[in-house]
Amino acid sequence: MAVTIKDVARLAGVSPATVCRALSTPERVKTETRERVRRAVDDLGYSPNRAARGLITGRTGNIGLVVPDLANPFFPGVVKGIQARAREADYSVFVADTDEDPSAEASLVRSLGKQVDGLVLCSPRMSEEDLRSVVGDTPLVLLNRRVDQMPAITFDSLGGMRQAIAHLMALGHRRIAYVGGPRTSWSNRDRLNGLRTVTAAAGADLVEVGNVLPQFSGGVAAADLVLAAEATAVVAYNDVVALGLISRFAARSISVPDRLSVIGFDDISMSAMVHPSLTTVALPMELSGRAGVDLLLQLMQHPDQSGTSRELETHLMVRGSTGPAPRI
């Protein structure tokens, strides 16, 4: 039979109300009484259910997570980090997938905000104006998105692009293409701005091929445009697009990396499993999820720290898809 709060009260020699106060607001209970309650809880193995604790503390014990596409291999790593850190803090996680729909995203944020103690928005597709409009009383953290005066965890895209272009330049590449992600994607703009800055400083020619879906099919669709651009290397918005590029190049008998070098972004697990293995800018996905929950917990305790942000380091993983520039 499950241990109840009445069992704890009986063993500790106090009322159930005192047990509630000792567990939820211990500072309001005398030290001696609090210790008796604690010993009774330990002896009986009592654990208050989440609903009862919510009635006592005013908290749900839940965190909401909104992602644009769980089928994208980038997001499961982030989700894993969020769930692991939330579990350590004794929180459950509600996960919602918006299917890349900004309007669905806004609706989910509004509905979830009423059911959770805090929200993590991963790579939100909403406009900055819409993002600000959905911010209510529920603490909210952005992950892989930066908006002024909103708490966020981001990645050092500029540093990652600097490493990628330095690698390609050392291999003799001077004409580099970029296959972009969705026009509405903040991370695409962030990566492209970093790439423009780095290639201009290095004296390399940058050919912006266009924007594609952040999927394998997007890379396949862009591959012929990359070839028409006469670049010797291409940087893709993410690893999935890069793998689509390599697939189409293989279908056209274009050797990677002998004819074209390819660099991705994210370092998803399958990047090391394909042939040739993919050179990519690695993002600390699981760490970002943990950092997002840490920041959210901090905000729940100190709401005045709403402008706090953190940028995580990136690094280049050199593998088989890059090599010396061909002599054309």
Please report, for the domain that includes residue 79, its CATH number: 3.40.50.2300
In the prediction, which pLDDT does 135 show?
78
Q: Considering the domain boundaries, does residue 325 fall inside one?
A: no
Q: Do 167 and 244 belong to one domain? A: yes
Give the tens place of pLDDT for each residue, 230-259: 999 999 999 999 999 999 999 999 999 999
Q: pTM for the whole thing?
A: 0.80
**Distance from C-alpha of 309 to C-alpha of 143, rounded to nearest angstrom:** 10
Give mean pLDDT, residues 315-319. Answer: 98
In the prediction, which pLDDT does 294 show?
94
Q: Considering the domain boundaries, does residue 318 fall inside one?
A: no
Q: Considering the domain boundaries, does residue 169 fall inside one?
A: yes
Q: Do 195 and 87 belong to one domain? A: no
Q: Do 100 and 206 belong to one domain? A: no
Q: Do 89 and 118 belong to one domain? A: yes
Q: Considering the domain boundaries, does residue 317 fall inside one?
A: no
Q: Which of 54-63, 159-168, 181-190 has the lowest mean pLDDT?
A: 54-63
Q: Considering the domain boundaries, does residue 320 fall inside one?
A: no
CA angle, 178 as apex, 170 and 75 as ends, to 5°?
A: 105
Q: Do 164 and 200 belong to one domain? A: yes
Q: Do 139 and 181 belong to one domain? A: no
Q: Do 187 and 260 belong to one domain? A: yes
Q: Do 162 and 274 belong to one domain? A: yes
Tell which wins on pLDDT, 202 or 108: 202
Q: Do 144 and 289 belong to one domain? A: yes
Give mean pLDDT, residues 189-207. Answer: 97
Q: Considering the domain boundaries, does residue 326 fall inside one?
A: no
Token pair of 61 as six digits: 């014990």
Domains in the chain: how many in total? 3
Range list of β-strands (E), the chain: 62-67, 92-97, 118-122, 140-143, 152-155, 175-180, 205-211, 233-236, 261-266, 279-282, 309-312, 315-317
On the 0-12 / 13-18 / 19+ scale of CB atoms within 10 A, 253 is exposed
Q: Considering the domain boundaries, does residue 121 fall inside one?
A: yes
Q: Considering the domain boundaries, does residue 324 fall inside one?
A: no
Give mean pLDDT, residues 3-8. Answer: 82
**Distance from C-alpha of 202 to C-alpha of 198, rounded to nearest angstrom:** 6
The amino acid present at 174, given as its one-letter code, is R
Tally DSSP H helices, then E strands, for the chain.
12, 12
Residue 152: pLDDT band with limits 50, 70, 90: very high
Give the tens place of pLDDT for each residue, 295-304: 999 988 877 7
**Distance from C-alpha of 257 to C-alpha of 168, rounded to nearest angstrom:** 11
First and final C-alpha spacing in the chain: 78
The residue segments making up the domain with residue 48 are 5-57
